[in-house]
Amino acid sequence: MKLQKKTLRGLLMAGAATGLLGTASAQQVYSFGDSLSDTGNANDFSLGLVAGGDYFDGRFSNGYLWTDYISYSSTGELQRKNPGLIGPYFTRTSRPYNFAHGGAVSGKLSSSVNTGLLSGLGFLSNIAAFRVVDQAKHFRDQSFFGRTFRSSSLDYATISAGGNDYFAGETDVVRVVNNIFQAIDYIDDGGIRSFFLLDVPNVGDTPANFGTSGQAQLNALSQSHNVLLRDRALLYEAANPGSILAVVPAARLFELVREDALLNGGAVYGFTNVQPGAGTTGNCLGDGLVLSACPRGYLFYDDIHPTAPAHYIVADLAIATFQAKLYGFAEPLARTSTSKQTTSTSSRVVANRVQALKLGLTGSAILTDPFSTPNFSGIAEGNLGMQTIPGQVLGEQRFSVYSFAEGSWSELAAAGRDLAPQTEFLSGTLGLTPGETTFTMGADYLLPSDVAIGANMTRGSFDRQNFGALSYDETRAVTVYGAMFRGPMTYTLKASSTINEQQTRRQTFFRYQPFVNSDSRSALREVTAEADYGKELGAWRLGAVARAAAAVLDLDAFEEEGSRGLLDRSVRDQSITGYSAYLGLKASRALPRAFGYGQLTFQTGPVAGSDRTLGYAGVVGDALLFGSMPDAISRQDPMRGVGQEGLFGSASLQFSKSDRMSFAARAAGVQTLQGADHVVELNAAFRF
């Protein structure tokens, strides 16, 4: 019996697994392991004696396996078989292949273990194909120099191993896990960096062992195996940057399925027969239900192996587990984008306060109220700075109090994006969206020696959607600054500290537990130094500016919860340090009086940063190039395709027709060799 590919495609389209592995057609899936992953190798090798007749197409189930679903969702096709590891030696291929063999053990076991008793395979279990380590070694040997398998770092490997070891009597969990990681090393040597590692469901709870004297010991071995497997996976990732080891919690999933069946009648997962009991053996074949006659409610097809519906939800969970890994790479970006936005707002407030002080000091103009985040220093008759104390003009009073509020009443405040195809940046999330606000209040004082000092506080509240996560952020930034005026030169030094508290609801892409929740906190500390030169040339004011910034980002540890242990994550403390620099030219001129009071400004120059998570905000005052989502193409390096050096440019226009209403428009962008990022803003303000 064979299901049509159209049926498989329909199942995938109905579930969360579709397309989540990416869109790159070159991605392949190579599978290694035992009967949980074998798509027909043991059947072919034994000439149909194993997994024949009552089984679906050589698989140890009544339908497709979890590896089938993962392969099809990534490549659009099923894996080729490789029975007995015989070839393929003479063809070069980049097609998906399956090396798993039913009855396979992880590798060399303790001398006391009788591997000949495994799964009725007898002496077959002593052949290389029936050891996962040797399956991986064969792949490695046939991958060197592209001899057979043209694998790449964009491909995936799945591994299921350990259950047969414990069935056979192995009790050395460390040995079994060491074998699995020896296999991972071989596969890595063959060029693959991304792994789905299926943990071992409680072996004692299978119908073959349920209620026996060995049930408790087998479950204890399974649980010890899974704890060690997760710990080793984290250590491996830390020692091998760019590798992703997604440990699929099948054991916890089966626990929840059993609990749902026994307590809720299968209301959540749909399984109602999960263990032997009155009138049932706890599996379809034991109850005489073959292939399509096996009802959806059965968890096991025979006394060891799950049914096709069980494999399907395992595949769904596997892809969700991998997605959680990818989100972990992007998480510093998602957790801190609002901190950087608030810091950028505060930085622009400071820049324009310094400009206001200088213009007032030199007597060249007195400034009206500011009205936009980009630049609020239009030249007009009126009070100094932003919303300052009424009637106070520089010279009469050296102390100024100001405030500035920005509300996102317009979609035009959202950021646009012009992206290179190989990189997916934050889209439409770096400008304020409807309902978000920032408010700044501060004061500064001009000393007699032409030195100004000041401080302000900026608060922001943000509703964001980043990387499939909905978040609400409360952000507070405190900035202190000083400026020195020496003829055409202005020197500015500022330091800021931004605290962000975030409540996040992250989509898991697993249909049965669709969301997890978390509360987190981060702190961003930044110091920026600037030298600015300006000179009048006719109607234009030309100048140059140099900025350098150093930043430290501290991300506090937190716990996700909401998926009952399936996709919850524990996130550790993390600290990121980065530096950035900008050297630019600028030109500005006042608008003709026929347009009201206003100013047109251009700026451009090279920008560089040492850390792609922190980006360039400290030196260009914009939420540009904060980083990328690790998608199917760039997942091995989450920041791949995001240039650390680029060319920054901006243009802004601002004008006011009255003392009360002001407008501004601004565009800014960064161009790198790998791609471009830009932001467009339109702002209006009413003074009252």
pLDDT in tens, 273-323: 999 999 999 999 999 999 999 999 999 999 999 999 999 999 999 999 998
Q: Can the peptide bond before residue 88 be classed as cis, meaning omega within 30 degrees of 0?
A: yes
**680: buried, middle or exposed (CB in 10 Å: 19+, 13-18, 0-12)?**
middle
Distance of CA 379 to the CA centre of its chain: 45
Instruction: Provide mean pLDDT across the span 57-74.
Output: 94
What are the beta bridge partners of residue 598? 655
Write down the mean pLDDT value for the chain. 78
| Ranges 406-415, 444-453, 641-650: which has the least confidence | 406-415
Residues 6+ apart with CB under 8 A from 116: 122, 123, 125, 126
Checking if the pLDDT of 19 tops 50, the result is: no
Distance of CA 423 to the CA centre of its chain: 13
Maximum mean pLDDT: which of 248-257, 343-352, 399-408, 577-586:
248-257
Q: If we measure between CA atoms, which residue out of 316, 311, 443 comes closest to residue 387?
A: 443
pLDDT band at 33; cut points 50, 70, 90: very high
Checking if the pLDDT of 182 tops 60, the result is: yes
Residues 6+ apart with CB under 8 A from 106: 131, 132, 133, 161, 162, 164, 165, 176, 179, 180, 183
Checking if the pLDDT of 492 tops 50, the result is: yes
Between residues 632 and 394, the one the model is more confident about = 394
**79: buried, middle or exposed (CB in 10 Å: 19+, 13-18, 0-12)?**
buried
User: For 426-446, what is each residue's pLDDT tens digit?
Assistant: 233 334 444 567 788 888 888
SS (H, E, C) 548-609: EEEEEEEECCEECECCCCCCCCEECCEEEEEEEEEEEEEEEEECCHHHCEEEEEEEEEEEEE
Checking if the pLDDT of 23 tops 80, the result is: no
103: left (phi over 0), alpha (psi -120 to 50) or beta: left
Do residues 575 and 555 make contact, with C-beta atoms less than 8 angstroms apart? Answer: yes
pTM of the model: 0.79
User: For 554-588, what is each residue's pLDDT tens digit?
Assistant: 999 989 999 999 998 888 898 989 888 999 999 98
Ordered by where they begin, the domains of the chain are 23-248 (3.40.50), 326-686 (2.40.128.130)
Report angle CA 582, 586, 588 to the nearest 5 degrees: 150
Instruction: Provide mean pLDDT across the span 343-361.
Output: 74
Maximum mean pLDDT: which of 113-122, 204-213, 354-363, 460-469:
204-213
d(C-alpha 163, C-alpha 183), whole Å: 16
pLDDT for position 241: 82
pLDDT band at 659; cut points 50, 70, 90: low
d(C-alpha 171, C-alpha 112), whole Å: 10
pLDDT band at 149; cut points 50, 70, 90: low
User: For 123-148, what is each residue's pLDDT tens digit?
Assistant: 455 677 899 999 999 888 887 655 56
